[in-house]
Amino acid sequence: MLIYKIFRSDEWTDMQAKGETTGAPIDLADGYVHFSTAEQAVETAAKHFAGADGLWLIAAETDRMNTLKWEISRGGAKFPHLYETFKMDHVVWAEELPLIDGIHQFPEMS
């Protein structure tokens, strides 16, 4: 199953250079890497990245992760949280997430 992480350009560049990351500042503060399902990603972008340009949408394969937990979060929905380093080996694809007229334009996701 694919899950999704939104990164700022510098965070994505850093992960590519190092081959892994412990996440964005919010991830470090919470102690796990936040992900969203395809259905949750648009709301995540609107809530946490409103008006932000220079974002990347990273698709990751859950079968490649060892310590992924589904936990209750926003609105009582279960969100995927990764309790390990997010590695490039987990990444299936990455695409820029352009901001057009104040709305992030998402690619097709499954």
Q: Where are the alpha helices (DSSP H) in the chain?
A: 9-18, 25-30, 38-48
How much is the average pLDDT of 8-21?
98
Q: Does residue 106 sit within a domain?
A: no
Residue 44: name the closest of 7, 95, 91, 6 by CA.
Answer: 6
pLDDT per residue as tens digits for the range 38-74? 999 999 999 999 999 999 999 999 999 999 999 998 8
Residue 110 is predicted with a pLDDT of 66
Domain that holds residue 67: 2-98
Number of domains in the chain: 1
Distance CA 78, CA 60 (A): 17
Phi, psi of 64 (to 5 degrees): -95, 0
Indicate if the alpha-carbon torsion angle 45, 84, 24, 92 is positive or negative: negative
Q: Does residue 87 sit within a domain?
A: yes
Residue 109 is predicted with a pLDDT of 87
Q: Does residue 108 sit within a domain?
A: no
Q: Does residue 110 sit within a domain?
A: no
Q: Whole-model pTM?
A: 0.95
